[in-house]
Structure 1
Amino acid sequence: MARSVAREWKALVTGFGGRAGAMLALMMAVAAPAQVSRDQGVPETPLDIPANLQIFGKLDPNVRKPTAIVNDTVVTGTDVDQRLGLIALFNNVPIAQIKGDERDRLRLQILRQLIDETLQVQEAKTADIAITSAQVDQGVVRAAQSTFKVTPKELPAFLTKSGASERTLRREIEAELAWQSYLRHRVEPLVNVGDQEVADILKRLQAQKGTQEFNIKEIFLRAEGANEQEIFAKARTVLQDLQKSGKPFEQYAVQYSDSPTGKQGGDLGWVKASVLPAELAQAAQDMQVGQVAGPIENSGGYSILYLTDKRQLLTADPRSAKLSLKQLTVRFPAGTTQADATARTSAFATGLKQLQGCGSVEKVGAALGAEVVDNDAVLIRQLPGPLQDLMLNLQVGQATPPFGNPQEGVRSLVLCGRDDTQSTELPRADQIENQIQETRVNLRAQAKLRDLRRDAIIEYR
C-alpha cells in the first residue's frame, strides 16, 4: 500500500532500494534506453484539425464538481477530497498548504486516478477475481503499523483528523490488490522472455561497464521567439522561489514544467549524457549531487535541473558505502536569533573537540546537553550532497563540522564504521528475465487500462 500511495503522490506532486534497485534500474536502462521526454514544437497528429481553429463555447473543468459515475459506480467529491488528504498525510504535507489552483489541479488528477481504480476493480470482478474484506483488513493493519505508525484502533481517528478516512484507504488497498491479482492471473501467463534476449542484454551491460549515468529531475519552460525574455525571467523567478521555499522540486515541476515529465515531478530517471541535449549534458557533468542549476538555455526553452544522484555502471561507487553513525543534536529554543545560534554553534563545535572516538560520544553528548541517536545502515548517497563530500573523507571516530539552522538546532555526525564491500558483477540471468517480464506485464497493463477507459460509460456531474 505504501508504495502505491507513494507512486500516486509522485505523479501528482512529485521500489527498490540499495544495490538491488540500482541493478534493476540499470537493466531497465539497457533493455529500453532512457529518453528525455519533452515536446519540441507542435507534434504531428493523424487527426484532421484545421490550423486556424476556433473554440466554440467554454470548458472549465475546475468549475465542474468532481463527481463521476463509472459504469454505475459513483465517485463523489468527498472521495476525491479524502484521497487528497490521504496522499498529503502519507507524504507529511499539511493539507492546508495545498490551496487554490494547485488544489484544483490535484483534485482533477485524483479524480482520474479514482476512475482508473474503479475500472480496475470492475475488470477484476469480471475475471472472477474478488478481494475479500479479510485481505483488505490485513492491508489496513499493515498501513497503520508500518506507514502511519499508529495502532489499527487509532487509525480511523488519525485519518479523519488529517482530512482522510478509513474508507478511502480501504478503497485504495482493494484496487491495488485487485489489479495486481488480475495481472498475476490473466496477464503474466501470456508473457514470455527468450534466453537469447537475456544473453543480448548481458552482453550490452558488459560493453557499457564504467559509463556514467545521472539521475535528473527537470523543470522545462517552453520559449518561442517573442516571449523568450519573459520565459527566461519566469524561469529565474521559479528557481529563486524553489531555493527559498524549501518545497519539493517535484511540486514545482508539476506546477510549472511544460514537459510531459512534469506530471511525474520532472523525473527523467537514469540517463546517460549522450541522450541529453548538449547544454543539459554539460550541466549534469558539472553539477554536484543535490545541486539545482539553471535556467539553462536549450532547444525550445529553458531548463532547471536537479541532480539527485550519479553513478558509473557496474563500477564500485564509494558513495554506496554503508555507514554506522552516531548523531549529536542540540536543539535551540524557539525564537533563537542568528547571533545566538552562531554562539551556541561555536560552543557545540568546541565541545566536539573532546571526542575520542565513538566510545566517547555519549559522554561528550551529555556534557553538551545533546541528544544522541545511533544508525547503522546509512548509505553515503542517502545524505545531502555537502554531507556526502564530508563523509567520503572522514575517518572512523571523526565527526563532521556542525550543521543545522536556528529553527532546528545544530547537529554533527560521528563516523563509527564503514562497509565498502560492493559487488560489481553483472546481474544474474534470472534477474534480467524477471525485470523484462515485469516491464512487459506493465506495458500490457497500461494497454488494458487504456482499453477499459475507451469502453467505459462515464457520466460527469
Structure 2
Amino acid sequence: MAALALASAPYLAQAQTPTDPTASEAPADAAPPVRSGMSESVAAVVNDEIISTYDLAQRMRLVIATSGVQPTEQNLPQFQREALVGLVDERLQMHELHRVEKEQKMSLIADDQEVDEEIAAMGKENNLGFEQFKAQLAAQGIGIDTLRAQIRAQTSWSRWIRGRYGSRLRIGEDQIKAMQERISSAAAKPQYQISEVFLDANRVGGMEVAVNGANQLVTQMQQGAPFSAVARQFSASATAASGGDVGWISSGEIAPEVEAAVAEMRPGQLSKPIPVRDGVYIIYLRDKRSGSDATVVNLKQAAVALAENAPQDQIDAASAKLMALRAKVTGCGDLEAQAAKTP
C-alpha cells in the first residue's frame, strides 16, 4: 500500500548548528524562511513524494519550539528522528485520506479555515493573537506552512478515525456490568493520577536509543521543559494528544514495572525512565489516594425557594434561573460565589 525510502542526510548543518538549531533566527516581523534549492537534498521518499532536508529542518525547529526542550549536541539526533518519523506518518496519512476522498467522494481533509482556527487557539493559549503567534514562529525560523501541514494532517486523520470507527461502537449491558464491577473492585485498591511519555523502542530505533532519549527528556523536564509539551511531541502513546494525561488509574491497570515505580513516588514527582517490553515510560505522578471500601461524596447545591402550590410559570422561571447558573459554575469551589450574584 505505501512505499517508503530513506536517504542518509547530515544533521542539517546548512539550516542550523549542532548546538543551537535556531541560531539563524529572523526578526519577529520577518517573513517565513525561503527555500534554498542549492542546499536542499532528499531526506525521505514516501509514495514518490519527497521529504526534503528543508522540510525536515523546519519540522525540527517546530518540535524544538513547541516541546520546551533545549537543543544540545546530544539530543539533536532525537529531534531529527522525531521530526522525520512525524513527517513520514503524516505523508502516509494524507495519501490515504486523498485516496478515500477520491473513492468515496467525501470530504475528509481539513480546510484552511479549520486549520487557522486551531492555530489561533494555540496562540490564545499563549496569550497571543494569530498574527503575533505567526510572527513568533517566524522569529524562530519556522514558516507558518510547517505548522499548518502538521495540524491539517492530525485534524484530518483524527476526523477520519472517529468517523470510521466511532459509528461502530455499541456498548451492551454486559459491558456496562463489567465496568461497574471493575469500578467497584478498583475502589479498594490504591489509585494514581498520572501523566505519561512513552518512547516506542521499535519506532525510535531500539531499546538503547529509547532509554538514552528518555534520560535526555527527563533531564530537560527537570530543567523546566513542560511535561505536556514534551508528551505532545515525543510520546508514542495515544495520550500524547492530551499532553500525556492518563487520568486516574488503579493498581493492576498499568504495566507491573510502571506500577512498582509509581508506588514509590510522591505526588508532584517525575520518574526516572522505566523500561518495559516494548519501550520506555516516563511518568509524572500528579496525585495518589489509598483504596477504600466506601466512597464518600461531598455535594453542594443551589436552590430557588418556591411555595408548595407554586404555579407553572414560577417553576419554569426558577428552572431557567438554575440552568443559567449551572452554565457559569465550573465546580464546587465557585458555586457559592456564582450563586451570590444571582437574585
Output the TM-score relative to the length of structure 1. Answer: 0.40
More RCO (CA 8 Å, sep 6+): 1
Determine helix, strand or coil for the equivalent of 2:131. Answer: coil
Task: Name the residue aligned to 1:77.
Answer: 53
Cα shift at 1:207: 2.6
Give matches, 1:420-435, under 5 Å: none
CA distance in structure 1 between the partners assigned to 2:286 and 2:122 by the alignment = 28
Cα shift at 1:309: 2.4
Give matches, 1:116-195, under 5 Å: 116-128=89-101, 129=107, 130-144=109-123, 146-195=124-173
Task: Name the residue aligned to 1:108.
Answer: 81
Determine helix, strand or coil for the equivalent of 2:181. Answer: helix
Contact 1:216–1:267 (CA under 8 A) maintained in structure 2:
yes
CA distance in structure 2 between the partners assigned to 1:286 and 1:420 by the alignment = 36
CA distance in structure 2 between the partners assigned to 1:250 and 1:420 by the alignment = 31
Q: Which runs of 5+ in 1 are unaligned?
A: 1-58, 221-233, 255-259, 319-376, 380-416, 422-461
Cα shift at 1:62: 6.8
Contact 1:217–1:308 (CA under 8 A) maintained in structure 2:
no
Contact 2:68–2:225 (CA under 8 A) maintained in structure 1:
no
CA distance in structure 1 between the partners assigned to 2:52 and 2:97 by the alignment = 22
Q: 1 or 2, which has the higher strand percentage?
A: 1
Cα shift at 1:112: 1.0
Cα shift at 1:291: 3.4
Task: Name the residue aligned to 2:62.
Answer: 86
Structure 1 residues 181 and 266, CA gap change in structure 2 (3 angstroms): closer
Task: Name the residue aligned to 2:72.
Answer: 99
CA distance in structure 1 between the partners assigned to 2:44 and 2:287 by the alignment = 41
Give matches, 1:15-414, under 5 Å: 63=10, 67-93=43-69, 97-128=70-101, 129=107, 130-144=109-123, 146-214=124-192, 215=194, 242=219, 246-248=223-225, 272-273=250-251, 284-291=262-269, 307-312=285-290, 315=295
Tell me the number of residue pairs that the alignment of Structure 1 and Structure 2 aligns. 240
Contact 1:81–1:164 (CA under 8 A) maintained in structure 2:
no
CA distance in structure 1 between the partners assigned to 2:244 and 2:128 by the alignment = 33
CA distance in structure 2 between the partners assigned to 1:153 and 1:61 by the alignment = 36
Q: Which runs of 5+ in 2 are unaligned?
A: 1-5, 12-40, 102-106, 200-210, 299-328, 337-343
Contact 1:213–1:311 (CA under 8 A) maintained in structure 2:
yes
* 1:246 maps to amino acid: Q
Identity of counterpart residues, as a percentage? 23
Per-residue CA distance 1:107-143 (angstroms, 9 max, x = gap): 1121111111111122112221333233323333333
Cα shift at 1:102: 0.9
* 2:63 maps to amino acid: I
Structure 1 residues 183 and 73, CA gap change in structure 2 (3 angstroms): same
* 1:209 maps to amino acid: A
Determine helix, strand or coil for the equivalent of 1:108. Answer: helix
* 1:82 maps to amino acid: Q
Cα shift at 1:295: 10
Per-residue CA distance 1:379-432 (angstroms, 9 max, x = gap): 9xxxxxxxxxxxxxxxxxxxxxxxxxxxxxxxxxxxxx96799xxxxxxxxxxx
Contact 1:288–1:307 (CA under 8 A) maintained in structure 2:
yes
Determine helix, strand or coil for the equivalent of 1:154. Answer: helix
Cα shift at 1:306: 5.5
Contact 1:136–1:173 (CA under 8 A) maintained in structure 2:
yes
Output the TM-score relative to the length of structure 2. Answer: 0.52
CA distance in structure 1 between the partners assigned to 2:249 and 2:224 by the alignment = 25
Determine helix, strand or coil for the equivalent of 1:75. Answer: strand
Contact 2:186–2:250 (CA under 8 A) maintained in structure 1:
no
Contact 2:42–2:50 (CA under 8 A) maintained in structure 1:
no
* 1:119 maps to amino acid: L
